[in-house]
C-alpha cells in the first residue's frame, strides 16, 4: 500500500504579493479551480492502493470515444466499491469536446486526476451520509463568495463547461464547504486588509482614520469610552504600547503594526482550521482504497 499524497516580515511580504490568478488550462482540473478552499484534492495524504496495471503503465496513452465509460479505477469506502470511468475523470477538467485530440481520441486520465476525483467522491459520500444538502440559493451564494458571480454560464465559459455542468460542480463544492464548516471548530477571522499608506511615504503621518483602523482591529482590547487600552495583556497592546494612540489620532506606523498582529492572528487560526479539516478528511480516506487498473474493452 502506498500513501498518496507567518512574524512581522512574513506578514509584510505576503501583504505585498498579489494572489495568483487561477490556472485556466486543461492541465488543472476545473474541480480544483472552481471549488477553491472547499476541496481536498491534491492536499491530503490518503490511504490509497494503486494497482500496478494502470492504463499509462500498460502502454496506452489515449482512449477512444467508445472507451470513455469503461471503468479505469475502483475505490472502496466503508466496504462499498464504486467504479470510476474515464469520462467522469476527464469531465472534471472541462468539456470533453475541448479535450479531444485531432484524431478524436482522448488522453488517458492521469493517476493524480483519478485520485482527485476519488478523494472528493469520498467526502461527498460522507456529507450525504450526514444528511448535508444545499439549496439553489446556497449554491448561488457560494459562487458569489468564491468567484464573484453566480452567472453559471459565464463561469462555465471560462473553463470549457456548459451551464449545467458548472452548477453541478459548484453544488458539490458548496456541499463540501458546508461539511467543512460543520466539523471545523476553529473560528477564522476575516483576512485583514493593510492600512492605506500616506501618499508621501511618511510613516509618522497621523489621522483619525488610522486610529479607527486600529480600534476596529483591537476590539475589546481598546476602551473607547475612556480613550485608552482596556487591558494590557492582549496582543495588540503588546505590539502598540510604545505608540501614541487615541480615539482620534494614530500614526500609519501604528496602524501597520496593528495589521501585522491581525494578520498573524488570522494566519494562526487559518492554519488550525486547515489542520482540523485535514485530520477529518484523512480519517475518511483511511477507510478508503483505490485501485487504478488497465483499460479494458
Each domain of the chain, given as residue ranges in start order, spans 2-187+277-292, 206-272
For residues 159 and 161, give the distance between their C-alpha atoms in angstroms, rounded to a whole number: 6
Share of the chain above pLDDT 70, in %: 79
pLDDT at 32 over 60: no
According to the model, what pLDDT value does residue 295 have?
46
pLDDT at 50 over 70: no
For residues 247 and 223, give the distance between their C-alpha atoms in angstroms, rounded to a whole number: 9
Asked whether the beta carbons of 3 and 50 are under 8 A apart, the reply is: no
Higher-pLDDT residue of 247 and 109 is 247
Across the range 228-237, mean pLDDT stands at 97
Model confidence, pTM: 0.74
According to the model, what pLDDT value does residue 92 have?
81
Instruction: Report helix, strand or coil for 200.
Output: coil
At 105-158, the pLDDT tens digits run 999 998 888 888 888 899 999 999 999 999 999 999 999 988 889 999 998 888
Instruction: Report helix, strand or coil for 222.
Output: strand
According to the model, what pLDDT value does residue 46 have?
39
- Strands across the sheet with 80-85, in order? 80-85, 71-77, 288-292
For residues 169 and 152, give the distance between their C-alpha atoms in angstroms, rounded to a whole number: 10
pLDDT grade for 257, boundaries at 50, 70 and 90: very high
For residues 68 and 216, give the distance between their C-alpha atoms in angstroms, rounded to a whole number: 56
pLDDT at 6 over 70: no
According to the model, what pLDDT value does residue 59 have?
58
According to the model, what pLDDT value does residue 111 have?
87
Across the range 213-225, mean pLDDT stands at 97
At 179-213, the pLDDT tens digits run 999 999 999 999 999 999 999 999 999 999 999 99
According to the model, what pLDDT value does residue 41 have?
37
pLDDT grade for 294, boundaries at 50, 70 and 90: low
Higher-pLDDT residue of 70 and 59 is 70
According to the model, what pLDDT value does residue 29 have?
47
Amino acid at each position: 500500500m502506498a500513501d498518496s499524497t507567518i512574524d512581522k516580515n512574513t506578514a509584510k511580504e505576503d501583504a505585498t504579493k498579489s494572489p495568483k490568478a487561477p490556472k485556466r488550462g486543461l492541465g488543472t482540473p476545473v474541480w480544483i479551480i472552481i471549488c477553491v478552499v472547499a476541496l481536498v484534492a491534491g492536499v491530503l495524504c490518503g490511504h490509497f492502493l494503486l494497482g500496478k496495471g494502470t492504463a499509462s503503465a500498460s502502454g496506452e496513452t489515449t482512449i477512444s470515444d467508445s472507451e470513455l465509460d469503461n471503468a479505469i479505477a475502483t475505490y472502496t469506502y466503508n466496504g462499498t466499491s464504486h467504479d470510476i470511468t474515464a469520462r467522469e475523470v476527464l469531465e472534471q477538467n472541462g468539456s470533453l469536446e475541448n479535450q479531444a485530440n485531432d484524431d478524436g481520441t482522448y488522453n488517458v486520465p492521469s493517476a493524480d486526476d483519478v485520485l482527485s476525483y476519488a478523494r472528493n467522491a469520498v467526502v461527498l459520500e460522507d456529507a450525504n451520509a450526514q444528511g448535508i444538502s444545499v439549496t439553489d440559493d446556497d449554491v448561488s451564494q457560494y459562487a458569489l463568495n468564491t468567484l464573484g458571480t453566480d452567472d453559471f454560464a459565464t463561469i462555465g465559459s471560462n473553463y470549457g463547461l456548459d451551464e449545467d455542468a458548472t452548477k453541478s460542480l459548484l453544488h458539490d463544492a458548496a456541499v463540501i464547504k458546508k461539511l467543512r464548516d460543520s466539523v471545523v471548530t476553529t473560528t477564522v477571522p476575516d483576512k485583514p486588509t493593510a492600512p492605506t499608506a500616506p501618499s508621501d511615504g511618511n510613516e509618522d503621518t497621523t489621522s483619525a482614520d488610522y486610529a479607527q483602523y486600529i480600534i476596529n482591529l483591537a476590539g475589546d482590547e481598546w476602551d473607547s469610552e475612556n480613550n485608552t487600552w482596556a487591558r494590557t495583556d492582549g496582543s495588540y497592546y503588546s505590539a502598540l504600547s510604545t505608540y501614541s494612540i487615541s480615539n482620534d489620532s494614530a500614526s500609519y506606523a501604528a496602524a501597520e503594526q496593528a495589521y501585522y498582529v491581525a494578520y498573524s492572528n488570522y494566519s494562526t487560526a487559518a492554519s488550525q482550521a486547515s489542520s482540523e479539516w485535514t485530520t477529518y478528511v484523512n480519517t475518511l480516506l483511511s477507510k478508503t482504497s483505490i485501485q487504478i487498473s488497465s483499460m479494458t474493452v
